[in-house]
Amino acid sequence: MYRVLVMFPKSAGPAQVDALTDAIASSFRVSAGSQPITRSVGSLMGPGAQAGEAGWILEADFPTLEDAMTALDADDFQDVKATTETLTSSIFLFEIDEV
């Protein structure tokens, strides 16, 4: 299983983040299938949130690396990706496993 994690900065406005998360989720749904696409609600909590730059998080799971790469390379994701990166958001892709 693979996860894409998008961390939006605290400096971004809530309405802007809402629009971007909707656009990203819409784009990713094609490749994610029935896997969850989730986002943080409200303020981030905990020690890392207080000291860090992230204000919102979006996570999307994909069954295979190929599915994740297809989502990240999709034409309809490229525009929203450019806007997301303009905000100095971070986009991570990593493999996940239960511990």
Residue spans of the domains in the chain: they are 2-95
Write out the chain's pLDDT in tens, 99 residues: 999 999 999 989 999 999 999 999 999 988 877 788 999 998 888 887 877 788 999 999 999 999 999 999 999 899 999 999 999 999 999 999 999
Q: pLDDT, tens digit, for every residue of 63-91?
A: 999 999 999 999 989 999 999 999 999 99
- The Cα–Cα gap between 41 and 50 comes to 16
What are the strands of the beta sheet with 37-39, ordered from one edge?
Answer: 37-39, 54-62, 2-9, 90-95
CATH of segment(s) 2-95: 3.30.70.100
Tokens 């809530």 label which residue? 14
Residue 26 phi, psi dihedral angles, 5° rounding: -60, -45
